[in-house]
Structure 1
Amino acid sequence: MLDSTLPLKEAFGRLEQIDRNYKLNPSEDEWKVAYIVHDCLKKFYDSTNHFSGNSFPTSNVFFPDICKLQLKLKEWENSDHDFIRNMAGPMKEKFEKYWDECCLVLAIAVVFDPRFKLALVEYNYNAIYGENAKSM
Structure 2
Amino acid sequence: MSVHLNHMYVITIIFFLDLTAGDGVPTFDDWEIVRRVIKVLEPFNHLTLKVFGSLHITSHSLFEVLTDVHCLFDRWQDCGDLDIIFMTSKMRDKYNKYWGEGNKINMLVYLAVIFDPQCKMSFLDFGVNLLFPNVANDIMKMIDKELHCLFNEYSSNAGRIQLFEGRSSSSTNLYSSMEIDQSEMKTGLAKQKYLKKKKQVGLESKSELDRYLGENEEVNNSSSFDLLLWWKMNSPRFPILAQMARDILATPISTVASESAFSTGGRVLDSFRSSLTPFMVKALVCTQDWLQKSNDAINLEDYVDELQTMEDGNT
- Per the shorter chain, which TM-score range? 0.5 to 0.7
Q: Which moved more, 1:30-39 or 1:121-130?
A: 121-130
Distance 1:90 1:104 in 2: 27
Superposed CA deviations along residues 12-70 of structure 1, whole A, max 9, x for unmatched, are: xxxxxxxxxxx52422x433321121011111111111112232533212111221012
Q: 2:119 aligns with which of 113, 116, 120?
A: 116
Larger Rg: 2
Distance 1:40 1:134 in 2: 33
Q: Does 2:27 correspond to 1:26? A: yes
Q: Residue 70 of structure 2 corresponds to which residue in structure 1?
A: 70
Structure 1 counterpart of 2:27, which letter? Answer: P
Structure 2 counterpart of 1:42, which letter? Answer: E
Structure 1 residue runs of 4 or more that deviate by more than 6 Å after TM superposition: none
Q: Which moved more, 1:74-83 or 1:126-135?
A: 126-135
Equivalenced residues, count = 113
Q: Tell me if structure 1 keeps the 8 A contact 2:52–2:58.
A: no
Distance 2:129 2:36 in 1: 27
Q: How far did 1:135 drift?
A: 5.9
Q: When you count helix as a share of all residues, which structure comes out higher? A: 1
Structure-2 change in CA distance of 1:103 and 1:120 (3 Å) = farther
Superposed CA deviations along residues 77-105 of structure 1, whole A, max 9, x for unmatched, are: 23311111111112111111221342754
Q: How far did 1:113 drift?
A: 2.6
Q: Which has the higher contact order (CA 8 A, sep 6+)?
A: 2
Q: Residue 90 of structure 1 corresponds to which residue in structure 2?
A: 90
Q: Residue 59 of structure 1 corresponds to which residue in structure 2?
A: 59
Q: Residue 49 of structure 1 corresponds to which residue in structure 2?
A: 49
Distance 1:104 1:35 in 2: 39
Structure 2 counterpart of 1:52, which letter? Answer: F
TM-score (norm 2): 0.32
Identity, % of aligned pairs? 23
Q: Residue 20 of structure 1 corresponds to which residue in structure 2?
A: none
Superposed CA deviations along residues 111-135 of structure 1, whole A, max 9, x for unmatched, are: 2333310121233344445687556
- Runs of at least 5 residues in structure 2 that lack an aligned partner in the other structure: 1-23, 140-315
